[in-house]
Structure 1
Amino acid sequence: MATRTQILIPIGIAAIIIGAAGLISIPKDAKLEQTKFPMGIVKIDGVTLQVQIADTRPLQTRGLMFQEKMPYDQGMLFVFDGEAIRSMWMLNMQFALDVIWFDANGNVVYIQKDAQPCKSAIETATCTFTNGNNAKYVLEVTSGFVDMYDITENSKLEIISI
C-alpha cells in the first residue's frame, strides 16, 4: 500500500507542471498589465452594461486579469468566432465573478455564480469553469450581479454596440 508521501509528491509535481504550462501558454501581449480593450454596450433583461470587448485570442486570454474591481453596470464580453464549448479561467483575478454563457442568438446556456479567483497558478485546474453547451458569447460581471438582477436561464443578451 502506498504511503501518503508517495501519493502527494506526484500530485504536487503534476500541479506545478500544469500551473507552469498555463503561465507559459499565455501570449506575451496578454501579459501586459495595461491592456486597452474596445468598449461596447449590451443589455441583459433590460439591464444596460458598458462592456470591455475581448474579441481576439490575446484579449480573451488576458480577460479581467489584474483589474482591481468592476462596478455592477460594467462587464467584459468575450466574443468568439463561432459556437463551441468555452472554458473561462480565473488566473490573476482580483475578485469573484458571475459568468454567463450565451448562444449565437443571445440565449443563456449556462450561468456560473460566484466564480472564485485562482489563488496561485498551480490551482488553474480548479479555478477554470466550463459549460457543457455551445456558446458564442461569455459575459463576466461582478459576483452578485446574477442574483441582484434576477438573471436566469430564460434571460436574453441584446448587443447594442460592439
Structure 2
Amino acid sequence: MKHLKLLLAAALLAATAFSGAQEAPQMDLPRIKLGAGMYQIEAQVARTSDQRTTGLMYRKEMPQYEGMLFVFEQPSGLCFWMKNTLIPLTAAFIADDGTIVNLADMKPQTTDSHCALRPVRYVLEMNQGWFSKRGLKAGAKLTGTPFESRVQ
C-alpha cells in the first residue's frame, strides 16, 4: 500500500510538472521587423509545426507593436482558433506579396474557427483592434523580408 501511495504521488508530481511545462508561453522565437504603412511591427516568427501549434497561447499580455507571424510552407486555406490563448487577438491572413486578404477578431479561450478567405501562407496575430485603430483592412499591404523573397 505504501508503494502504491508513493507511485501515485510520483505520477501526480510528474503530471503537474508536465502540465506546467505545457502552460509556459513561448517567448524565445526569432524576431523580424514588418511594416504596415507608417507603423512598425516586431513579430516573433513561428515556422515549425510545434511553434505554430503553441502560437501565443498562455500569454497574459503582449506589447502594442508586437505580434506573431505564422509562416507555412505553401498557401492553403488556413483556420485559427484561440484555445488556451488568454488575450484577444486579430488575425491578418496575408498573401505571399504581403497583401492582407482578410482580418478576423478572435475571442480568448474559444475554439471558434477563423479562416482565410483564400489560400495564404502567412498569418499575423496582433492585439485585437491594432489593425482597425490604424485604418488597416483587407487590401492593405505589409512589408518585410518574408513578402519580398517570394517570386510573384
| The two structures share one fold, judged by TM-score above 0.5 | yes
What is aligned with 1:83? Answer: 75
**TM-score (norm. length: structure 2):** 0.76
Give the secondary-structure state (helix, strand or coil) at the position aligned to 2:131. helix
Tell me the equivalent position of 1:61.
Answer: 53
For 1:92 and 1:54, how far apart are their aligned partners in 2? 17
Matched, 1:147 2:138: no
Matched residues in 2 for 1:102 and 1:161: separation? 11
Residue from 130, 133, 149 that aligns with 2:115: 130
Q: Distance in 1 between matches of 2:85 and 2:67?
A: 14
Kindly provide the amino acid, as one letter, of the partner of residue 108 in structure 2: P
Alpha-carbon RMSD across the aligned residues, in angstroms, is: 2.1
Partner of 2:107: 116
1:104 to 96, 101, 121: 96
- Could you tell me how far apart the structure 2 residues matched to 1:31 and 1:41 are? 28
Deviations 1:67-118 (A, max 9, x none): 11112210000011111111111011111111100111111111113x1012
Whole-angstrom distance in 1 between the partners of 2:71 and 2:37 = 19
Which amino acid counterpart does residue 42 of structure 1 have in structure 2?
A: L
Count, aligned residues: 127
Question: 1:72: which partner in 2?
Answer: 64
Identity within the alignment, %: 25
Could you tell me the TM-score, scaled by structure 1's length?
0.72
Counterpart contact for 1:31–1:62, Cα < 8 Å: no
